[in-house]
Amino acid sequence: MSDQTPALRLEGIVKTFPGVRALDGVSFEVMPGEVHALLGENGAGKSTLMKVLAGMYQPDEGHIFIDGAPVTMRTPLEAKARGVVLIHQELSLAEEMSVAENIYLGELPRRSFGRVDWQKLYANAQVILDRLNCKFGPRSRVGDLSIANRQMVEIARALTVDAKAVVFDEPTASLTDAEKVVLFDIINDLKAQGGGSSTSRTGWMRSSRWPIASRFCATAVIAARWSRPRRTRTR
């Protein structure tokens, strides 16, 4: 048995809203280089669990561990700083800004006197867009892009940091078949990077499409209303 430390571990996570116990003692772990699927019917708490991981909700009970260390993530920025990145199904982009500005929003490279280093910004963004095989450029206005291309911008955001856990929310919902192939390559790349001893990168996918999830995921975490999630090996 491997003595490797889980990249991500949840222990007894509880989240309650008025009249609803959305999460009831959720516990599971993800090892480096693994991709897990989170499956379940509507209302089973999948989105709530992802928002707890991303620092959008605070758990009422339980603990989150990253690389074996307990962490508290009170905001999405804190979660990102800890290496947890959520790629939303609902797009959270600034349509009037460029692709590059959206990719590095809040982290724009600066020159002296706080001026934006536009040349570096566009160059860095182009590297990420090339990795994703995007057909649009870093100067493109996000509002002019198709929904599928905007989703690729969301994915590009996750590649700007040394993420330890990348959480995908229905990642293929708005992608074309060609874009899905690119996404699959990215997921395989993240898996390969997480397999080494020097990194703990892992993935976690919420999906309603079992054929998509089973392609990458060694384990499915199945959430059911009013019960604790159970784990199922997919292969």
- Which is it for strands 219-223 and 35-40: parallel, antiparallel or unpaired? parallel
Average of per-residue pLDDT across 100-105: 94
Please give the structure tokens belonging to residue 206.
Answer: 């919420």
In eight-state DSSP terms, residue 96 is T
Q: What is the pLDDT of residues 21-40, one digit of tens each?
A: 899 988 888 888 888 778 77
> Which pLDDT value is given to residue 200?
41
Calculate the dihedral angle through the C-alpha atoms of 79, 85, 88, 94, rounding to the nearest 10 degrees.
80
Q: Please state the domain extents for the chain.
A: 1-83+164-235, 93-161
Q: Are 28 and 126 spatial neighbours (Cβ–Cβ below 8 Å)?
A: no
Question: How far apart are alpha carbons 57 and 60 in whole angstroms?
Answer: 9
Q: What would the pLDDT profile of 168-190 be if each residue is shown by its tens digit? A: 887 777 777 777 777 777 777 77
The conformation of residue 33, written as its DSSP 8-state character, comes to T
The architecture that CATH gives domain 1-83+164-235 is 3-Layer(aba) Sandwich (3.40)
196: pLDDT strictly greater than 50: no
Q: With 60 as the cut, is the pLDDT of residue 227 above it?
A: no
Note the pLDDT of residue 55: 92
Q: Which pair of structure tokens corresponds to residue 17?
A: 């809203």
Q: Please give the share of the chain, as a percent, with pLDDT higher than 70.
A: 79
Cα(189)–Cα(59) distance, rounded to whole angstroms? 31
Q: Tens digits of per-residue pLDDT, 48-71?
A: 888 998 899 999 999 999 989 999
Percent of the chain whose predicted confidence (pLDDT) is above 90: 30
Q: Give CA–CA dist 214/66, Å, rounded.
A: 25
Higher pLDDT among residues 37 and 221, named by residue: 37
pLDDT for position 1? 46
- For 30, the token pair is 């993800």
